[in-house]
Amino acid sequence: MAEWRRVGRLLTIAAALPTLAAGCGGTDSTLVRPSSVSGLPGGFSLELNRNARAFVQDQVWTEGRTQYAVWVNASGSAAVGKRTLPRGGWSTYDLGRLRGNPLALPTRLDEHNVYAVAVDDRGYVHVAGNMHGDPIRWVRSLRPGDITRWTPRGMPAGEPTTTYPRFVRTRSGELLFFFRSGDSGDGDLALRRWYGRERRWGRTTTVIDGRSSGESPYPQHIATDRRRRVHVMYTWRARPDPATTGDLSYAVSPDAGRRWRTSTGAKLPVPITHARSEIILATKPGGPRLSNAGGLDIDSAGTPHAGILVGGRLHHVWREGRRWRIETAPTPRPPVTRPAVFAGSAGDIFLLTTSPQRRGQSTVWAVGVAGDAGRSQRPVKLRDIGAAQSEVTYDTRGASLDGRLRLLLPGRQAPSGGEVVEYEPTAIR
């Protein structure tokens, strides 16, 4: 396995790519047995749910013994579900029934119009989605844990062009709402903070400013750690054309999004601009293509680990000591989708991706890149699913509480319903 090193200067993709290994390790053709599988009731639109993308955060949210999920049902409406773990059945509610239709349902056939669900520290359920350059579409349960009654009021206005809703809850209980304000190639990464005692959202703040330089930042999965820090890794796009994506960057907040720093602790004035960003991987025009989204998770030591696609191949990016490192990872049956990153137990780090099969199906893979899981250099098959274009996302909150991997996936045979599939990390090695 070839490795890129950042030693006193920035490496460029164009210069470093010839040193990368072209092959990959062997694959394990045996499917890993999940610890549980729970089918989603009430219909599941393969056409609309296939738009699960690496930027979704999150479709599943586990809070103690209660699990919540949001998906698009057969009518194109958004269904929210709730069940008691480990084997309870789902109760569901169709959000298209809400007075005034605050989520503008039915869901538009657009890969950006995804949904996210979260639970705040007082137990209220939040759902946002069906936005691509639209005003914020969000609803909250009227009572903690109750998915049958929802507030008729939306989030306070102020952002006419909103995309990519992401809920992030820190270890100290603060609920944050990240989103893009603006358009592709001309937008900012924005943030609102939920004040649970007052049951209201604070004003919008711009975390990363892309408009001033005629760009927009594209964050990976936004991660938190045990120290209340929030980690953001992101690329820059100069135009709506994905080929203009470049310059992998990083910032960390020590206080749930109020202040930001580089990986070395240097202060970053807010809003962060391209010129002030810490560049992990500099790119050159015409070099191998850098994907505009991917995974990020934090191990038990507080080290960030990211997964990206460079030239269509999987790469693992992580911080080691005082430098960033990047290496190629085994890439199963290319082409593969943009990866998620899951930090398992005992230091295991996995890249999660899918690759297409015949007849509109695909396989979900786990690729170990660190810890005991990283020693075999062997992609492991997790699941065959009945959709060709789904990327992998997982239950961020549940993983932070008990270390288990939970995925919302299309069923194994198309046409079919969706399912929430759970794995013990030790079974994936």
Count the Cβ atoms, other than its own, within 10 Å of residue 151: 15
User: What per-residue confidence (pLDDT) applies to 16?
Assistant: 44
Task: Identify the pLDDT of residue 177.
Answer: 96
**pTM to 2 decimal places:** 0.92
| pLDDT > 50? residue 22 | no
What local confidence, expressed as pLDDT, does residue 258 receive?
Answer: 95
pLDDT of residue 26: 54
pLDDT at 29 (0 to 100): 67
| Range in 11-20, 172-181, 243-252 with the lowest mean pLDDT | 11-20
Q: How far is CA 332 from CA 21, 188, 367, in A?
A: 14, 34, 9
Residue 58 one-letter amino acid: D
Worst-scoring range by mean pLDDT, 3-17, 46-60, 95-109, 184-198? 3-17
pLDDT digits (tens, 9 = 90+) for 96-129: 999 999 999 999 988 899 999 999 999 999 999 9
Q: Which of 48-57, 101-110, 177-186 has the lowest mean pLDDT?
A: 48-57
How far is Cα 220 from Cα 88, in angstroms, rounded to an integer? 33
Interval 14-30 mean pLDDT: 48
Q: What angle do CA 189, 193, 196 make, to 5 degrees?
A: 160
Alpha carbon 264 to its chain centroid, in Å, reads 25
How high is the pLDDT of residue 89? Answer: 95
Q: What gap in Å lies between CA 366 and CA 54, rounded to an integer?
A: 15
Say which residue, 360 or 380, is predicted with more confidence: 380
Q: Where does the pLDDT of residue 25 fall: very low under 50, low under 70, confident under 90, or very high at 90 and above?
A: very low
Residue 364 phi/psi, 5° resolution? -90, 130
Which among 276, 247, 236, 248 has a CA at the least distance from the CA of 260?
Answer: 276
Confidence band, pLDDT 50/70/90 cuts, at residue 40? very high
Average pLDDT value for residue range 312-335: 92
pLDDT on residue 278 = 98
Residues 256-272: pLDDT tens digits? 999 999 999 999 999 99
Model confidence at 214, pLDDT cuts 50, 70, 90, reads very high
Mean pLDDT for the chain?
88
Q: What is the chain's length?
A: 429
Q: Please, what's the b/e burial string for 188-201 (b: 16 or more CB within 10 A of its CB; e: otherwise)?
A: bbbbbbbeeeeeeb
For residue 333, pLDDT over 50 is answered with yes
Q: Pairing state of beta strands 405-410 and 418-423?
A: antiparallel
E strand or H helix at 406, and its extent?
strand 405-410
